[in-house]
């Protein structure tokens, strides 16, 4: 029986299909150089993977460098800030004097505001505490300069008009003993002195009486190691100054003090 033309055509196509399948299997092998079970190629990394790993490592090192530089900068600023402790103490005195509380207390023969000032110390009631969680808590504060040790001491206790005995004990405490020193914070100070002044009145009198609180406190202080003495003029209770009333027509302005 002779083969038909259709069978001869199919016989001619079969070898071509087998060769095509062989070429297709060969072309499907991976070209990344890694052994995935199709052949005996050796494992390794491509150039793209090496570049990607190098970029990630450089990025991590850059972030660590920035973090280290920021930390060193913060540490340096903190070290420089410690040298300004004396100036910070004077600024604290200025801020607390601005919130001076003039409420009278029955500590003496008659009720009067607590304000005791000498050349080397000052005691008063302020509306701003340092130790309290909220800075608006009232406190009895005390600044005391020890010329023998060249140190300025600061201490405070919570203010309460019902604990007068505790206030009296605080006024008599000195930062000499170990137990008493826990109540005080100190900074190095070469010189520290206080001077009270009053605003000039109509009679141009600047005399300070014991019954009045000075409107101006002059502080002369010198940081340790400095060659000159600094002078600062502090106002008492200037956060709530007297309100100046607008003058009437035809009258001269009056001072709010």
Q: DSSP assignment of 23-56, as one string?
A: HHHHHTS--SS---SSS-PPP---HHHHHHHHHH
Average pLDDT over residues 96-107: 86
What value does the mean pLDDT of the chain take?
A: 75
pLDDT on residue 152:
93
Top pLDDT among 227 and 248 is at 227
How far, rounded to the nearest angstrom, does the alpha carbon of residue 152 sit from its chain's CA centroid?
22
Rounded CA gap, 181 and 2, in Å? 125
| Of the listed ranges 55-64, 75-84, 88-97, the one predicted with least confidence | 75-84
Rounded CA gap, 252 and 43, in Å? 99
Instruction: Give 116's strand partners.
Output: 123
The yes-or-no verdict on residue 122 having pLDDT over 80 is yes
Q: What is the largest CA-CA distance in the chain?
A: 149
Whether this model's pTM surpasses 0.85: no
Binning the chain into helix, strand and coil, the percentages to the nearest 5 are 35, 20, 45
Give the highest mean pLDDT range of 73-77, 218-222, 249-253.
218-222
pLDDT on residue 245:
39
Average pLDDT over residues 110-114: 85
pLDDT on residue 16:
47
Q: How much of the chain, in percent, has pLDDT values that exceed 90?
A: 26
111 exposure class (CB count in 10 Å sphere: 0-12, 13-18, 19+): exposed
pLDDT on residue 44:
76
| Of the listed ranges 49-53, 100-104, 246-250, the one predicted with least confidence | 246-250
Rounded CA gap, 234 and 218, in Å? 6
pLDDT on residue 251:
42
The 3-state DSSP class for residue 114 equals coil
The yes-or-no verdict on residue 123 having pLDDT over 80 is yes
Average pLDDT over residues 73-96: 78
Those residues whose C-beta lies under 8 Å from the C-beta of residue 236, and which sit 6 or more positions away, are 97, 98, 100, 213, 214, 215, 216, 217
The yes-or-no verdict on residue 2 having pLDDT over 60 is no
Query: pLDDT (tens digit, 9 = 90+) per residue, 160-202?
Result: 888 888 888 898 888 876 565 677 888 999 999 999 987 655 4
Q: How much of the chain, in percent, has pLDDT values that exceed 70?
A: 64
The torsion defined by the Cα of 203, 207, 208 and 209, in degrees rounded to 10, comes to: -80
User: Confidence band (pLDDT; 50, 70, 90) for 133?
Assistant: confident
Query: pLDDT (tens digit, 9 = 90+) per residue, 34-61?
Result: 444 444 455 678 888 889 999 999 999 9
**Beta carbons within 10 angstroms of residue 229's beta carbon:** 13
């Amino acid at each position: 029986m002779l083969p038909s033309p259709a069978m001869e055509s199919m016989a001619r196509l079969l070898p071509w299909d087998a060769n095509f399948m062989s070429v297709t299997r060969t072309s499907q092998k991976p070209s990344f150089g890694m052994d995935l079970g199709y052949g005996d190629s050796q494992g390794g990394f491509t150039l793209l993977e090496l570049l990607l790993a190098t970029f990630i490592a450089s990025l991590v090192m850059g972030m660590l460098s920035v973090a280290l530089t920021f930390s060193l900068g913060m540490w340096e600023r903190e070290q420089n800030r410690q040298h300004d402790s004396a100036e910070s103490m004077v600024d604290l005195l200025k801020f607390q004097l601005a919130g001076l509380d003039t409420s009278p207390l029955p500590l003496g023969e008659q009720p009067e505001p607590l304000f005791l000032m000498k050349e080397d110390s000052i005691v008063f009631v302020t509306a701003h505490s340092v130790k309290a969680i909220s800075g608006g808590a009232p406190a009895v504060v005390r600044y005391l300069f020890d010329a023998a040790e060249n140190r300025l001491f600061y201490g405070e206790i919570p203010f309460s008009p019902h604990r007068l005995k505790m206030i009296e004990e605080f006024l008599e405490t000195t930062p000499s003993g170990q137990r008493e020193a826990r109540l005080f914070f100190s900074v190095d100070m070469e010189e520290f002195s206080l001077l009270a002044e009053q605003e000039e009145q109509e009679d141009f009198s600047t005399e300070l009486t014991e019954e009045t609180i000075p409107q101006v406190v002059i502080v002369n202080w010198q940081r340790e190691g400095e060659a000159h003495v600094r002078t600062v003029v502090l106002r008492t209770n200037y956060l709530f100054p007297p309100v100046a009333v607008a003058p009437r027509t035809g009258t001269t302005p009056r001072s709010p003090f």
